[in-house]
Amino acid sequence: MEPGVAVRNSGMTVDAARAFGNGEKDITSTTTANRTQQQQQWKQSVLAVVLCGVWTSAIGLVSSLSNYYAHQNVWNGVAKSGDDQFWCERDYSDMLIREPSNSWSDFSFFAVGLVMIFVGLSDMFLRNKKTKSQNLFIEYPSLSIINGFANIFHAFGTFSNHSCRCWNGYQMDVTGMYLVILFPLSYNLIHLYLHRYHHHNHLLLLHHNDKKVKVNIDVAVMVKCMLYFGAGLVFFFTTYVDIDPGLIVLPLVVGILISTLKVKENSKKFQVKFHTPLFHGAIAMLGIGYLCWLLDRHKVVCFPHSTFQLHAVWHIATAISLVCVYLYQRSENHHHIRAVFDLQSCFVMK
């Protein structure tokens, strides 16, 4: 039987039949989209479980090693750290972890690094590649992953420093500290460079159809080069030059503050939004942490045998500050904080 005859026999008009067919297509499309979203959420959950397992496994492994090498003076004869006399916590010199509170608190940096890697891998493998984003962290997931590994390196370095109170641990601690500070500064400098030399909204230029106007640089590669170049310089300073790290850290932190405010000012011209409370939170946590650092270093508030140590608070506060800075930069063009981790809404151009 011909289609037209079937429609006539059923009493349905041609327009009604077409509407019915389109309705079926819409239902099928919605079902497929829901299934895809569920699959993405399931994969994201698996990834989160795996990374949480990595974090807890690392804690378990270090705890087991600490118990196995207890009271064996494993650090006897190792060259002393550059800041082994600064901190309030008692030195348990015969233990694998000589400063327990100061060392265990460093796992907060490890957690921050894993969060960044989680977001970067989600952006890289779970988002719709056909949908272009005006957010650099989403369009270049390697930025999140690099930042995550920098924080993990810092976690390993500062844990080593407080565990062994040795020179090699001190070097890795300071180098990692420079790395995590250099990254947001490098990211801001990229923004300022693009604003200055292209005189356009760099987020729109990323996907401009005109090849003469489109930015001809790979933002991710540029940040990588700046990061690794800076890391090489600071490692040189920490290895061969006897200089107080504070003399380097302070200008870098001030540079982040100034460049962040400048980027925000430039972005207003193009109505690009940031989640500003995250930046305020980062400043507040950094201030609280620095106050604790000063009180601990100068022994103003000092309880050497206590589990509660202000230097450990400094570690946790700065870790929170780092993740706030990261989320603030990643919130660009996605004003609501809920959109930062939303795999669906985050990739829609706004």
Q: Which among 1-10, 35-44, 201-210, 316-325 has the top mean pLDDT?
A: 316-325
Which of the residue ranges 67-76, 107-116, 129-138, 162-171 has the most confident prediction, judged by mean pLDDT?
A: 107-116
Q: pLDDT tens for residues 121-155?
A: 988 877 666 556 667 787 778 888 989 999 999 99
Rounded CA separation 350/341 (Å): 16
Q: Residue 21: which residues within 8 A CB-CB, separation 6 or more? A: none
Element (H, E) at 3: helix 3-10
Q: For 16-40, what is the mean pLDDT?
A: 60
Q: Is the pLDDT of residue 205 over 70?
A: no
Q: pTM for the full model?
A: 0.80
User: Please, are residues 77 and 102 in contact by the beta-carbon 8 Å criterion?
Assistant: no
- Residues 220-246 have pLDDT tens digits of 566 666 766 777 777 767 666 777 777
CA 107 from chain centre, in angstroms, equals 15
Cβ atoms of 259 and 305 closer than 8 Å: no
Only one residue has tokens 């942490």, namely: 289
Gyration radius from the chain CA atoms: 26
**CA triple 282-287-291, angle to 5 deg:** 150
Distance, in Å, from the CA atom of 261 to the CA atom of 283, rounded to the nearest integer, reads 12
What are 303's two structure tokens? 């309880």
pLDDT at 3 over 80: no
Structure tokens at 332: 């660009």
- Residue 166 DSSP one-character state: B
Q: Share the mean pLDDT of the chain.
A: 78
CA angle 93, 95, 100 (to 5 degrees): 90
51 closest CA partner among 107, 120, 121, 114: 114
Task: For the chain, give the percent of residues with pLDDT over 90.
Answer: 33
Pick the CATH number of 69-347 from 1.20.1070, 3.30.70, 1.10.730, 1.25.40: 1.20.1070
